[in-house]
Amino acid sequence: MIELKKKQVWFVTGSQHLYGKETLEKVAEHAKTIAAALNDHKLIPVTVKHRPTVTTPEEIYSVCMEANADKDCIGIIAWMHTFSPAKMWIGGLKVLHKPLLHFHTQFNRDIPWATIDMDFMNLNQSAHGDREFGFIMSRMRLNRKVVVGHWQDNESIDKINVWTRAAAGWHDWQSAKFVRFGDNMRYVAVTEGDKVEAEIKFGYSVNTHGIGDLVKTIAETSDKQIDKLVEEYADSYELAPSLLKNGAQHASLREAARIEIGLEAFLQAGNFKGFTDTFEDLHGLLQLPGIAAQRLMHKGYGFAAEGDWKTAALVRAMKVMASGMAGGNSFMEDYTYHFNPDNRMVLGSHMLEICPSIADGKPACEIHPLGIGGKADPVRLVFGAASGPALNASVVDMGNRFRLLVNEVIAVAPLHAMPNLPVARVLWKPYPNMHTGCAAWILAGGAHHTCYSQNLTSEYMTDFAEMAGIEFVLIGKETTIPQLKNELRWNEMYYGN
């Protein structure tokens, strides 16, 4: 779906000429070894490319400018094997627009007790060389991730993996296009937002197309294309009897397929990475896109309903970040609650559009009436999701800033069958508990729409927010309401009014 290995992270080592040629040769050799090890490691999804050691302000400036201009470079990993006086870095860091990870590592894992001498000390001095580099980034107020640990240690490598995936999601947003069919759902506040500011801050654009443009593309779908997709539906899902070839509602399944084919063609033709629609504006569409939105999400497109372009873009970014990982990411909505004191939890779902990447088992393909919108019954995939750790993420527009809000949750298996529920569903318990988790979410202004992730942790989302330079608020195991309220107030000061 989304190929991350084509994206590059540049491994840049800083040094200086003080130590002589021989030491610089060793530095280069060690840096190459580390870059190759990261590149070959199964945990790292992107290409790690070794770049020549930088030893002067000119070389540093030049590699930063090159990184900016390179369309496949998604970020820089910087390491100071020796001491690289950090005033040399100011010019380069001032212009660098790509994310930076400061890898505070050392070539040698252990101190060679019996042989250690001053030559060894002068070569393996990142313990203080990296502090000099850290200072200048702090002095310049630059966001970055600092990863500490030996380069062969899986804990360090996994932190780098997380950052490279966040960088891939961030890179994907730059110049991305999202299409909005129709406007925001009437009167809804949280799904609104400043699209101009979003483009300045996030790099993606959101533009509208009349639903008639989409209807026209859908009308161009051939019967042969529909035959083929209907066959794929039959192979992939448990079709409801009425949708089968001679079933009473087979024509509706064909119509759903026609919508999916037309929508995908429209997205491909416009090079869009995601879309949003609204049930209030479907002129000429026979059904609200149900299975179409679900399957297009599964293919990697961002989606959110009711004109919610912020969540559509977030779903796309999270799908890029999680590319190739087990588990899925889906548009989601906090729908209804189970308030039994012994077992409080949230039932998450939507009218139709939950991504089957989170499905536990083979989805059922069903058709049911939709209470709103006044259209024909839409075809949809119905399924449950696996239990286990997950999170909900939401981007909200606070007027003076964007806030990325994350709530860590634990998904649980349903207590009972829900035979009359005609939509995909997930049950989860928010951390730190139902009351505090939901209160914190509401105090932070989190939307009812989210991206639900089974495979990304809050560390991915923290890295992503830092790359975007936006506020990040985590509701997790340690959250308390007084602390969260203070955090929100302090952030208000930091971001200004």
Segment near Mn ion (CB under 5 A); pick from 105-113, 147-155, 305-313, 426-434:
305-313
Binding to Mn ion (CB under 5 A) within 174-193 occurs at none
Six-digit token string for 18: 């003080």
Least Å from the CB of residue 350 to Mn ion: 6
257/382 with CB nearer Mn ion: 382
Segment near Mn ion (CB under 5 A); pick from 77-85, 201-209, 300-308, 436-444:
300-308
- Alpha-carbon distance of 182 to 165, in angstroms, equals 32
- Alpha-carbon distance of 108 to 30, in angstroms, equals 10
As beta bridge partners, residue 426 has 348
Segment near Mn ion (CB under 5 A); pick from 71-79, 326-334, 340-348, 404-412:
326-334
Smallest CA-to-CA distance from 332 within 226, 444, 423 is with: 423
335/472 with CB nearer Mn ion: 335
184/407 with CB nearer Mn ion: 184
**Which residue is it, tokens 């939307």?**
447
Contact map string, positions 9 to 48, toward Mn ion, x by CB under 5 A = ----------------------------------------
131: part of which helix (H) or strand (E)?
A: helix 126-139
Least Å from the CB of residue 97 to Mn ion: 35
- Alpha-carbon distance of 49 to 30, in angstroms, equals 14
306/471 with CB nearer Mn ion: 306
| DSSP assigned state of 54 | B
Size of the site for Mn ion (CB under 5 A): 3
306/366 with CB nearer Mn ion: 306
Binding to Mn ion (CB under 5 A) within 213-272 occurs at none
74/296 with CB nearer Mn ion: 296
Binding to Mn ion (CB under 5 A) within 330-369 occurs at 333
- Alpha-carbon distance of 441 to 450, in angstroms, equals 11
Binding to Mn ion (CB under 5 A) within 405-434 occurs at none
Contact map string, positions 75 to 114, toward Mn ion, x by CB under 5 A = ----------------------------------------
Segment near Mn ion (CB under 5 A); pick from 263-271, 301-309, 336-344, 416-424:
301-309
- Alpha-carbon distance of 120 to 118, in angstroms, equals 5
64/352 with CB nearer Mn ion: 352
Reduce the DSSP state of residue 166 to 3 states and report it: helix
Segment near Mn ion (CB under 5 A); pick from 133-141, 217-225, 327-335, 404-412:
327-335
Six-digit token string for 322: 């999680």
Least Å from the CB of residue 331 to Mn ion: 9
Before 432, cis peptide (omega within 30)? yes
333/408 with CB nearer Mn ion: 333
Reduce the DSSP state of residue 393 to 3 states and report it: strand
Least Å from the CB of residue 448 to Mn ion: 6
Segment near Mn ion (CB under 5 A); pick from 11-19, 282-290, 328-336, 397-405:
328-336
- Alpha-carbon distance of 289 to 302, in angstroms, equals 14
Query: What is the pairing mode between strands 402-412 and 425-430?
Result: antiparallel
Reduce the DSSP state of residue 489 to 3 states and report it: helix
346: part of which helix (H) or strand (E)?
A: strand 345-349
Least Å from the CB of residue 463 to Mn ion: 28
- State the CB neighbour count (10 A cutoff) for residue 493: 8
Quick check: 157 and 43 in contact, CB under 8 A?
Answer: yes
CA distances from 458 to 301, 356, 453 (A): 22, 22, 10
Segment near Mn ion (CB under 5 A); pick from 49-57, 303-311, 360-368, 473-481:
303-311
Segment near Mn ion (CB under 5 A); pick from 122-130, 215-223, 329-337, 481-489:
329-337
| DSSP assigned state of 376 | P
CA atoms within 13 A on the CB side of 437: 22
As beta bridge partners, residue 407 has 392, 475
Least Å from the CB of residue 449 to Mn ion: 6
Least Å from the CB of residue 305 to Mn ion: 5
9/351 with CB nearer Mn ion: 351
Q: Which parts of this chain interact with Mn ion (CB under 5 A)?
A: 305-306, 333
